[in-house]
Amino acid sequence: MVRSARLFPPSPRNDAARTSSPAEHAIFPLGALMLAASVSSWAQTAPAEQSLKPVTVTEKAEAEVQGKDALQTRKTTIGKGNQDIRDIPQSITVLTEKLIDDVKLDTLREALHYTAGITFAATENGTDQDIRLRGFPIASTGDLMIDGMRDPSQYDRDTFNLDRVEVMRGSASMLFGRGSTGGVVNQVSKKPVLADQTDVVGTVGTAGYFRTTADFNIRTGETSALRINAMYNKADNGGAKIDKNGIAPSYSWGLGTADEFTVGLYHLKNNNVPMSAVRYVAGSLAPVKPGDFYGTKADFVDGEANYLHGAWKHLFGNGGELRTQLRSGVFERAQWSTAVGACGARPTATGTCPAGTPPVTSLNPNTFLTRSGLTPRKDRYKATYFQSDYSQAFDALGVRHELLAGVDAAREEAVRFQNNGSTLGIRPPTQVGTPDDGAGLIGSGLSPQWRNSSNYKANSFGVYAQDLVQVAPAWKLLGGVRYDNFKGDFEQLAYAAGVQNRPSGITRTHLSNSPWSYRGGVLFQPSPTQSYHLSYGTSFNTSADTYQYVTPQNANTPPEKSRNIEIGAKLDWLGGALSTRGAIFRTEKYNERTTDADFAGSAYTLSGKRHSAGLELDVVGRLTPQWEVYASYTWVPVAKIDQAGSAANAQASVGQRVGLTPKQSGAFWVTYQATPKLRVGLGAHGATENRPLSGTTGAASASARVPGYMVADALLEYKFTPDVFAQINVNNLTNKAYGDQLYPGFTILGPKRQVLATIGMRF
């Protein structure tokens, strides 16, 4: 596994003059400029004629020092700017490069296992980006971010170009627009730095695992640099396969001056075979071995992500800062995979369980398994995002202000495809004791034939302003407001029986919403090591958040609305070497869309309510120079439906616990520097009992659930020189079988035990 500039301390040349974060933005909006000018003229008295001199910043960027060689960081960019975590009145967890490299977290999903309160849904079409936080979705609504901008596309995200992963919990529509009920996840990309260094890392392991990454950073001038990150990864788990590659070049100039610019490209392609889904047995996790593959040769998940980005950061002479960025890309994904189910008799010639066969309550090596293909689907997503944020600290009316304001706009298009109705063939049955049997399809069809099923186009615009006011030496007040305008056009295509590729009708729907979002908070900071907060924030979800399910009924339904109340503390210990964060929260969706018989023909109603409440704790830093620790824990004792629709087919029952919300979840990672060259590490992640969203199997009407689990990971690292190291990882140390992604009809197990050997060098 290759990750550059992570496991080694920064090169001395990294201390060269540059700004506290790389250039991230690229267009200058008139509105933000006017705002900057008006605030400056109101707050300060400037000379009649003022000539701004070039600004050179010599402060060393924390991002260059922290993250590559530490688990702890005090800065974050998730709040629309480079801010101190203690000044953000919401719970924030940062997964640094060191943690990602230590545990060998190749994908975003693997990385998110190491932050508490996050669970994953498996879906009928196989996508694995349905992520839940505090019991609310954060992916299907676009709460995944790249460098602070929306990244809702369905693709399998890799960590090879990530500097860190930031998680902010709780409602945040005031900053990011629609979605953000449970929180947001921000992927921070690597940026060029003023240094000459190359890092190459290679990893081999069990199940045919091979991964290499390279990070080339070349200083091309006094204020310019080129950085290229590349990755190649293959593995063969008996049937499930990984075959992917990626490259991300970027170039920056003006580093350390008043105007920093960055342009770059990103390419990621995968041709994988996913793990087969396993249906529940007696309403619980099927007792199969982790890593056993029961799919067929026809299974696949192919995807490609391509985007270009540009950024510009401008420093004003009065201390103001304008960050502007633009990103445009195309994302494609197609998947067709297998779900297996237990059968108490030999399956029929068509691969189904004979009618009247008693349900299976336990498995043995001779138990028959039926194979069925999950719904094949293909997506093509195009998106262009623009964002500009202005920040400035100034004195006015006798108090200190930290202003943050900005605009953003998006153009999104999605095209969905489905099988055109052709026969796809029969998937032959197998037995529990014969996984990875190389089965192929029987019959005429070997792969799906695609036809257009739905189309989506939308434009959105948002503008926001927030002020953090120092009202007393130890007290700060935060207030913010945002306005969004969203307009979308949707098409659903219908096909007559026997007509494969010519639609018989098209249903067109238009959606338009203009909601407001709010954020407020109180911060009490009696010392540099203490920060206590009380915060309130709102969020909203439009009917278009899945980009697919807009109908004439829900198009007439206003956005759902949510709110979050949180009280917490962020404390530093041991001279700042150790940080702790804790919060008590209540997140509530108070007008959820529900079905109601009285409005079935015209609209859904916003009569649903549900909420979650609990406690979150984080500990990160050094206990001693030798001991380093990271821990994340969430307890959600309450996550239930408070009010549901009155129709017989209402989505949920009052009092029912919301699925994908285990009561307890957590992760920890501890390392010990045994000698100057030898370091060992041990960690784990897990959760208590969990259920899919609906809480039923769909087949036996029994309550489906998976038991709690804990998965252990271990590390042994030896540094031959400061620039050459070897590393051994054992992930899933005990080969634990656990339900990782849940769906009402099946679960996808987590990966089996894997041993990885890594060599890395810098030159």
What does the pLDDT look like over 173-228, one tens digit per residue?
A: 999 998 878 899 999 999 999 999 999 999 999 999 999 999 999 999 999 999 99
pLDDT of residue 97: 96
Estimate to the nearest angstrom the gap between the alpha carbon of 118 and the chain centroid: 10
Pairing relation of β-strands 183-189 and 144-146? parallel
553 pLDDT band, cuts 50/70/90, is: low
Q: Answer yes or no: are the C-beta atoms of 206 and 164 closer than 8 Å.
A: no
3-state DSSP call for residue 38?
Answer: helix
pLDDT at 354: 94
pLDDT in tens, 22-72: 333 333 333 433 333 333 333 333 333 344 444 444 344 434 434 468 999
* DSSP characters over 122-152: --TT----EEEETTEESTTTT-EEETTEE--
C-alpha to C-alpha distance for 228 and 209, rounded to whole angstroms: 24
pLDDT of residue 60: 42
Q: Give 685's strand partners.
A: 667, 711
For residues 399-436, one letter each, b for 16 or more C-beta atoms within 10 angstroms of the residue's C-beta and e for the rest, the string is eebbbbbbbbbbebbbbbbbbeeeebbbbbbbbbeebe
Q: Each residue of 451-478: pLDDT tens digit?
A: 999 999 999 999 999 999 999 999 999 9
Top-confidence residue, 592 or 671: 671
Q: How confident is the model at residue 595 (pLDDT cuts 50, 70, 90)?
A: low
Question: Which whole number is the average pLDDT over 139-164?
Answer: 87
pLDDT, position 65: 37
Side-chain-side CA neighbours of 426 within 13 Å: the count stands at: 12
For residues 80 and 544, give the distance between their C-alpha atoms in angstroms, rounded to a whole number.
25
Element holding 99 (H helix, E strand) = helix 97-103
Domains and CATH numbers, the chain: 12-36+57-179+205-289+319-438+454-762 (2.40.170.20)
- What's the average model confidence in pLDDT over 421-429? 90
Lowest mean pLDDT among 145-154, 325-334, 750-759: 145-154
pLDDT per residue over 292-335, tens digit each?
A: 999 999 999 999 999 999 999 999 999 999 999 999 999 999 99
pLDDT number for residue 168: 95
Whether the CB-CB separation of 732 and 713 falls below 8 Å is answered with: yes
In the predicted model, what is the mean pLDDT of residues 594-610?
Answer: 60
Least confident of 390-404, 533-547, 631-645: 533-547
Residue 438, phi then psi, degrees to nearest 5:
70, 25
Q: What is the pLDDT of residue 550?
A: 65
**262 or 57, which is more confident:** 262
Least confident range from 340-354, 549-563, 564-578, 742-756: namely: 549-563
Judge whether 344 and 700 are in contact, CB under 8 Å. no
Q: Please tell me whether the overall predicted TM-score, pTM, comes out greater than 0.85 for this model.
A: yes
Q: Phi-psi bin for 226: left (phi > 0), alpha (psi -120 to 50), beta?
A: beta
For the record, the structure tokens of 548 come out as 């697919």
Rounded to the nearest integer, the mean pLDDT of the chain is 86
Least confident among 236-240, 248-252, 525-529, 750-754? 236-240
